[in-house]
Structure 1
Amino acid sequence: MSPAVVLSLTVIFCAWLLRRLSRIGSRERGLPPGPPTLPLIGNLHQFPMSFAHVKFMEWAQVYGDIISVKLGPQTVVVLSSPSLVRECIDLRSATTSDRPTLHIPKLLYDDNGEMSLARYGPTWKAMRRAARDILSHEACMKHLPIQHAEAGQLMYDLLEHPKEFYTHIYRYSASVIFSVVAGIHCSQFEGSVVEDLDSMLRQLEYILRPGGSPPVDLIPLLKYIPSRWALWKTKAKEVRAVQEKLFFGILDHCVDRIKREKRNDCFLEYVLDHQSHYGLDYRQMAYLGGTLFMAGADTTAVFLRWFIACMVTYPDIQKRAQQEVDEVIGLDKSPVLDDIEKLPYLRAIIKEVHRFRPITPTAVPHSATADERVGDFLIPKGATIFMNVWAIYHHEDYFDNPELFNPERYIRSEHGAKPGVDTTGLRDDLMFGGGRRICPGSHLASNSIFLNTMDFLWAFKFQPATDEVTGLPIPIDLNSYNGALIGSPTPFQCEIIPRSEAKAGMIREQFAAASPTFELFEQHTSLQDKPDDGA
């Protein structure tokens, strides 16, 4: 072959290669609009590392309620209207219920170890079916005694040690899910599986945080770096070991309890009894329990913290809600779950807290397993799909003054929307996800929220803490929260005061009366100091 031919072929190949490379990162024909891209990297330089919901909403205001973002060759689609979520996530869930394939979660859980991040397939379906059976609306009714008892302890803890309310709320939320799932009541945070879980979740947040690992999913060659030079691999291995010790230890404990004939009818006992029916192996059962622990502990706690922050910030709203509670509940008894149906203003407050500060501002992302067309736009197979719950709940086309905390909007309208607005798809439970991936624990979480918000308003007055130097109230910044998947408020101070001595006495009596309920559940200390065989 002559030098001239070789040179020509080389030029042609280089031109072809440059053309191919130049297309990487560009927005393919048919994709929804979005911010301008750069060759190779697409929008990687613009993609938000935290507070993604805010940036997504800014882009939606420019490019529309369905946008696309390019991360190198990968496509991200963001939905910012309820009708789009209904069409893409709820009605087309057969092809939009997968999860993105991410390197770090795979290091932590393998392909199907953790239900909330597992790929859409037989193992996830089996896990989901088991969780749904024990956490259905009907099944959750039998968990009410322990939820009432745990709520009673939470009120007692707030009465005796109000400044530690952040920890008390977390202990409550985690102990409820430990009781229901594993038959374990945790009367304190320190030295319990609640503390173990919290420690593990903080380690997990560290490795999953933006910058906690290099962009392995965009540069796959990075996954082949040896562990001794890849700190993220070492950290993932450490977190995985902690998770397995906790999750397997608890399941081992349940097995031992069954052998000792000390059953307390918890979820994991049920799954062990029906293992062949669900087709789950021991690891999958342990991680099914672990998924519920991780999801249940943080979400309810975050809502209750936001609720208190809003009550402190809006004393007139708190006062009106307490008047309603007093009229319905009376002075000689504490609330029960059925009372919530007679408290429309409190229900409006709960909906407004969910709207104003949704627990998961972008929900957990979905992934498409087939091409889907939405109007004139294509959602390609393999695309990551975000539901921007924050943008939906702060959409000016649907809500008047969306940045204002105003429960009255839910008195005027079922979904809090403006008069005459088409509310198709505007669900009050969008923060729990959508389609086949909607949170199976939403009924349990809602019952906890109903019970505790009633108890809080019935028992306590929430007001700003006072600066010791100036004597002035310390305001709470409702715009201060972390930018992670779960939007928890930054720790704040407040004063929690019993509304009367009579109510304080009733709280103490109610807590004492809960002892027989707690005795049905095991009191479990930390597994971290126990041998590896669990129980």
Structure 2
Amino acid sequence: MPPTPGNKRPLPFVGNKLDIPKEKSWMKFREWNEAYGPILTVWNGSTPTMLIGDPEIAVELMEKRSTKYSSRPRFVVAGDLLTENRTILFASYGERWRAYRKALHLATMPKSVDSYRPIMEMEGKVLAEQLISDPAGWYDHSSFRYTASSVVAAGYGRRILDIHTDSAYQKLTKNIEFLIRVNVPGAQWHETFPALRFLPSFLNPIKKAALYYRYQGRENSAALMDEVRKKMAAGVAPHSYAKQLLENREKYADLDDVEFNGQPGSLFGAGVDTTSATLQSLVLALILNPEVQERVGEELDRVVGSQRSPVWEDEANLPYVQAVIKEILRWRPVAILGGTPHASTEDDVLEWEGKQYFIPKGSIILGNLWSIHMNPKTYEDPEAFRPERFLNNRQYTGTGTKGHSSFGWGRRVCPGAYFAERSLFITASRLMWGFKFGKATDPRTGSVVEVDASMETGYTSGFNCRPKPFICAIVPRSEEIRETVEREARAAVEDLRVFENFYDDD
């Protein structure tokens, strides 16, 4: 088998668990990959985890041999307790997974995503105006309200006007926050000793919390779906994924009500946290790299001008904008551990650099993006934010056409990747077209407020990571652009009224 870090013998019963940090384990994993090799064995109890730090190995196993590596390991807290494995995220590869995938395709195939483009465009225009009227609140506007409202409008046909008062949003996000916190390798003893799930809830606080969020999440999903039903009956339901599902319920008869109601929530779980965190990292990178801002601004001025904001059709003519987006996904990946790990379903042998490694059936396969995206064998000077590395259609071995691995691998690649890419392009390009981002000045002392892009101190921990809240200076790039932003936002607000028609039983 691949060696353990430092060839250290795993302890009886617990394996290497005591060596895995509970916070930001991906940083330790990168240290191990750099010191001991691109594929390692880390034991969690009696279960081996293959820790991959090389993109070519990740592709070899999870894409080229996808028939063996497309299942999921057992997750006691997030799988057994929180979701009962009745979601596409945790379902083992097989008939149930295919049923979930079939239903999700209704929202994520390109034709469907393109039908939601007007929502993304209009919400993006509202976001741009909010950065003018309330630049101090940009962190909430860019990450939480904008992305949540776009995804919930596409999923359920309703906007999120205020993240602090919308109860549906609060329930959806609390559920996702719990999942992100618990679904981290080495964070829960339940994953090492699955029998702990049988302890009663009053002795088992993580079980108590998981069951609470299970029932809360299902009640919220049912209520949101019921709201769409009522709107449809009243003839006021706008286009949404939930509406499409209800109109085609007979096609998904193999899903029970819990599984069916949870489908639109999958969009929220996959799209809100990832897209918002990427936009926050983009702002951070632009602040720290003013030369990138200048170059991307010149391209946008030449192609788009100041009398309108960027549109989808501009993408082919904005190669540097595309490069900036690819680089932010590489430089600060959100699903830092490579997304939910894969599991092998049969014994296998990997030949690599003159050695043969045995990978037993039931192994956990974890592609640590912090190792893969920072691998100097693949990316020269990987710590630097350098969009130029993606110009001229340059390809990187093991990363496919995207040049990065942020959406995962093989049959378990993120089903919402196209949705995320469309949303990112239209929003990121609008932010770079409309605004200059810089360091803020402390009004009390007059000193410059520094920003922290370090993964060690400036980013959160968990299954997904994002920049910790920071302040910055945001100004329109010109007076003409300011006028365009305000004009487009006024029109967008009117067009979005249809998504504010909340059904009132009274």
Normalization by structure 1: what TM-score? 0.87
Aligned to 1:444: 419
- Please give the alpha-carbon distance, in whole angstroms, between the structure 2 residues aligned to 1:267 and 1:396: 41
- Please give the alpha-carbon distance, in whole angstroms, between the structure 1 residues aligned to 2:245 and 2:369: 33
For the pair shown, which has the larger CA radius of gyration, 1 or 2? 1
Would the alpha carbon gap of residues 429 and 292 (structure 1) be closer, same or farther in structure 2, given more than 3 Å must change? farther
- Please give the alpha-carbon distance, in whole angstroms, between the structure 2 residues aligned to 1:111 and 1:255: 26
Q: What is the number of residues matched between the two proteins?
A: 493
Deviations 1:185-236 (A, max 9, x none): 22332322333323333344455578975x1222233222222222222212
Q: What's the % identity of the aligned pairs? A: 29
- Please give the alpha-carbon distance, in whole angstroms, between the structure 2 residues aligned to 1:145 and 1:154: 14
Shift of 1:300: 0.5
* 1:77–1:385 CA contact under 8 A, matched in 2: yes
- 1:96 maps to which of 41, 57, 69: 69
- Please give the alpha-carbon distance, in whole angstroms, between the structure 2 residues aligned to 1:123 and 1:255: 25
Aligned to 2:482: 504
- 2:314 maps to which of 331, 339, 343: 339
- Please give the alpha-carbon distance, in whole angstroms, between the structure 2 residues aligned to 1:499 and 1:470: 26
Would the alpha carbon gap of residues 429 and 140 (structure 1) be closer, same or farther in structure 2, given more than 3 Å must change? farther
Please say which of residues 427-436 and 351-360 is displaced more in the overlay: 427-436
Task: Give the SS at the match of 1:216.
Answer: helix
Aligned to 2:375: 395
Shift of 1:483: 2.2
Amino acid at match of 1:367: A
Deviations 1:91-115 (A, max 9, x none): 2222211112121123544433222
Would the alpha carbon gap of residues 271 and 109 (structure 1) be closer, same or farther in structure 2, given more than 3 Å must change? farther
Aligned to 1:75: 48
Would the alpha carbon gap of residues 300 and 523 (structure 1) be closer, same or farther in structure 2, given more than 3 Å must change? farther
1:44 counterpart = 2:17: yes
1:360 counterpart = 2:335: yes
1:167 counterpart = 2:170: no
- Please give the alpha-carbon distance, in whole angstroms, between the structure 2 residues aligned to 1:81 and 1:371: 21
- Please give the alpha-carbon distance, in whole angstroms, between the structure 2 residues aligned to 1:523 and 1:297: 22
- 1:487 maps to which of 443, 446, 465: 465
1:520 counterpart = 2:494: no
- 2:194 maps to which of 201, 220, 224: 220
Amino acid at match of 2:360: P
Deviations 1:476-524 (A, max 9, x none): 1111101211120111110111223322222121111124531332445
Aligned to 2:32: 59
Would the alpha carbon gap of residues 66 and 524 (structure 1) be closer, same or farther in structure 2, given more than 3 Å must change? farther
* 2:145–2:160 CA contact under 8 A, matched in 1: yes
* 1:207–1:235 CA contact under 8 A, matched in 2: no
- Please give the alpha-carbon distance, in whole angstroms, between the structure 2 residues aligned to 1:144 and 1:263: 17
* 1:362–1:388 CA contact under 8 A, matched in 2: yes
Amino acid at match of 2:382: P
Would the alpha carbon gap of residues 115 and 495 (structure 1) be closer, same or farther in structure 2, given more than 3 Å must change? same
- Please give the alpha-carbon distance, in whole angstroms, between the structure 2 residues aligned to 1:180 and 1:228: 39
- Please give the alpha-carbon distance, in whole angstroms, between the structure 2 residues aligned to 1:210 and 1:377: 22
* 1:85–1:425 CA contact under 8 A, matched in 2: no
1:117 counterpart = 2:90: yes
1:377 counterpart = 2:349: no
Deviations 1:425-450 (A, max 9, x none): 57435111111111111111111111
Shift of 1:89: 0.6
Would the alpha carbon gap of residues 424 and 492 (structure 1) be closer, same or farther in structure 2, given more than 3 Å must change? closer
Normalization by structure 2: what TM-score? 0.92
Aligned to 1:291: 266
Amino acid at match of 2:28: K
Amino acid at match of 1:497: V
Aligned to 1:432: 407
Aligned to 1:386: 366
Shift of 1:390: 1.9
Task: Give the SS at the match of 2:498.
Answer: coil
Would the alpha carbon gap of residues 206 and 75 (structure 1) be closer, same or farther in structure 2, given more than 3 Å must change? closer
Aligned to 1:458: 433
- Please give the alpha-carbon distance, in whole angstroms, between the structure 2 residues aligned to 1:103 and 1:304: 32
- Please give the alpha-carbon distance, in whole angstroms, between the structure 2 residues aligned to 1:287 and 1:248: 8
- Please give the alpha-carbon distance, in whole angstroms, between the structure 2 residues aligned to 1:372 and 1:520: 54
- Please give the alpha-carbon distance, in whole angstroms, between the structure 2 residues aligned to 1:251 and 1:205: 24
- Please give the alpha-carbon distance, in whole angstroms, between the structure 1 residues aligned to 2:448 and 2:295: 21
- Please give the alpha-carbon distance, in whole angstroms, between the structure 2 residues aligned to 1:387 and 1:452: 28
Would the alpha carbon gap of residues 506 and 238 (structure 1) be closer, same or farther in structure 2, given more than 3 Å must change? same
- Please give the alpha-carbon distance, in whole angstroms, between the structure 2 residues aligned to 1:76 and 1:120: 18
Amino acid at match of 1:37: R
Shift of 1:142: 1.5
Task: Give the SS at the match of 1:75.
Answer: strand
* 2:180–2:464 CA contact under 8 A, matched in 1: no
* 1:308–1:462 CA contact under 8 A, matched in 2: yes
- 1:477 maps to which of 434, 445, 452: 452
- Please give the alpha-carbon distance, in whole angstroms, between the structure 1 residues aligned to 2:78 and 2:230: 30
Would the alpha carbon gap of residues 102 and 59 (structure 1) be closer, same or farther in structure 2, given more than 3 Å must change? same
- Please give the alpha-carbon distance, in whole angstroms, between the structure 2 residues aligned to 1:195 and 1:157: 21
Aligned to 1:241: 215
- Please give the alpha-carbon distance, in whole angstroms, between the structure 2 residues aligned to 1:74 and 1:231: 24
- Please give the alpha-carbon distance, in whole angstroms, between the structure 1 residues aligned to 2:187 and 2:23: 12
Aligned CA RMSD, in angstroms, stands at 2.3
Aligned to 2:114: 141
Gaps of 5+ in 2: none
Aligned to 1:86: 59
* 1:153–1:511 CA contact under 8 A, matched in 2: yes
Task: Give the SS at the match of 2:475.
Answer: strand
Task: Give the SS at the match of 1:520.
Answer: helix
1:181 counterpart = 2:155: yes
- Please give the alpha-carbon distance, in whole angstroms, between the structure 1 residues aligned to 2:306 and 2:199: 66
